Amino acid sequence: MNHYSLADLTKCGRIGQGEISKSRVWQAKRKGTDELYALKTTSTFKKFSEKDIDIDFKPLLQSTNNNIVKHHRIICGETDGFPVRHQILFCVLTIHKFLVVVLQDLSFVMELCDADLQKVINFCITSDKKDVLQNLAWPFAEQMGIATEYLLDKNIIHRDIKPSSVLVHGIGRDDKKWIEKLGGTVDVTFKLAGFHHVRFCKDTQKLSSY
């Protein structure tokens, strides 16, 4: 699964969009297979090369932590028919001077989960099933503790943890069956995602020592 490009993926429909960064998330299928993935494309001020990706994102690409969303590949600088944006921003400094800023897009090919936590919360509130959320509080806290401990050990600062950055797996994609599954004995797995604002610390002293 390491040697492929965006051209090997077919979009099957949009499943999400960032609130501030305007990142786009699609369900994608690898051509010639039945493999389904989540494809997230977002813009960044930092310019990455393939070498940068291999080095900086290595802890994510090699992670086997069940509470960190699985990253199959992170791709920069590709279009291949996808609406990847390279935006140019003009920041006026004075009347006669301005700064040109180019935003580069990164594409994250990840495991496909059932929903994000924000959607589950909204669904439970609108369905008047707030007690279901109380049942999820302990497994959520426990699993996010495991995820953040892994990040600390790898000197990674997430910088954008919020309900929409936490994926939920094990409840299915049909929200009509969520209440039944969430209120039952179904094992729900929470996976931390949303690593497009991540910071990789190079300090020799581990973050976990603070």
Q: What is the pLDDT of residue 50?
A: 76
What does the block give as tokens for 113?
A: 């989960």
Query: Residue 89 pLDDT more than 50?
Result: no
Tokens representing 51 are 């070498």
CA dist list (Å): 53 to 38, 48, 75: 19, 7, 8
Compute and round to an integer the Cα radius of gyration of the chain.
19
**This prediction's pTM:** 0.80
Query: How many other CB atoms are there within 10 angstroms of residue 22's CB atom?
Result: 11
pLDDT tens-digit map of 167-203: 999 999 888 888 778 876 568 999 999 887 788 887 6
What domains are there in the chain, each with its CATH number?
Answer: 6-111 (3.30.200.20), 115-200 (1.10.510.10)
d(CA 10, CA 26): 10
